Amino acid sequence: MGSGGAYRSRLNVPRRIMAPLLAVCLIGGGAGAVLMLKTPAHTFMRVLPWLTLGATLLFAFGKRLAGSRGSVIEHKTSWLALAGVTFFPLLVAIYGGYLVGGMGIVMLALLATLGMTDIHSMNALKTVMVFVINGVAVVAFIFRARCTGSTGL
């Protein structure tokens, strides 16, 4: 929350883009948390290297995927393009709700892939999105612990 306050003035994403991104963060963070609670520890250990590899590849090749089309987030886009653009944040949100580790750098790579170039604006949006993803995951974990009387981890 402290980072969000520090970057508040740099958060210049239009509402028509922010609302779908935050909705995707809620859905994906919740889905990732449910996956974490439902999968056994040995499955988590098998999936972890692949999630880390995916995050690394996104970070390494994100700029090439973006090309030179400009920022999808900072410019006017059609609803169809916006729907397509929310697919990757959904995957990152599921990853974040499931693993959390390294999500900040994965989110920055994703925002670069979407064409953002101002690191301060990227950090502002990342902070809000990560807060939503982690928030819904924490609520899911608390709800699970409250219902079962244990953490389940």
Sequence spans of domains, the chain: 2-148
| pLDDT at residue 66 is higher than 70 | no
Query: Average per-residue pLDDT in the chain?
Result: 79
97 contacts: CB under 8 Å, gap ≥ 6: 28, 29, 30, 31, 32, 33, 34, 35, 36, 133, 136, 137, 140
| pLDDT at residue 114 is higher than 70 | yes
User: What pTM was computed for the model?
Assistant: 0.77
Cα distances from 122 to residues 23, 38, 43, 109, 141, in angstroms, run 18, 32, 33, 10, 28
